[in-house]
Amino acid sequence: MISSAAAAAIAELGEIVRLDGAELRVAAASPTSIRLELDLSASSCPECVIPRDLMLAILSANMATADPDISVIELHDPREDAGFVHSDHG
């Protein structure tokens, strides 16, 4: 379970990625770590979603204030997986 402040920081980033049809979900959490999954299945333009490194930078900065006990943030971005097919949105 994560703190309400940590949940709010994740939700804030979730709102940003949702603009491009993506969803950010908590896959696992402990008092000192969070593992997130980026779901791009509803996105018509996955490459339009902010890059993984930028998401991690935003989360790290926000989490340092929201819940400093969380020192490890992992984010699975399927765009980084071998075999990920980018859409051809024209």
Confidence of residue 88 (pLDDT cuts 50, 70, 90): low
pLDDT number for residue 90 = 47
pLDDT digits (tens, 9 = 90+) for 25-83: 999 999 999 999 999 999 999 999 999 999 999 999 999 999 999 999 999 999 998 87
Strand, helix or coil at 81?
coil
pLDDT number for residue 77 = 96
Q: Which CATH architecture fits 4-80?
A: 2-Layer Sandwich (3.30)
pLDDT number for residue 49 = 96
pLDDT number for residue 89 = 52
**Domain parsing of the chain, residue ranges:** 4-80
Cα separation, 23 vs 9, whole angstroms? 14
DSSP string, 18-63: HTTT-EEEEEEE-SSEEEEEEE-TT-S-GGGSPPHHHHHHHHHHHH
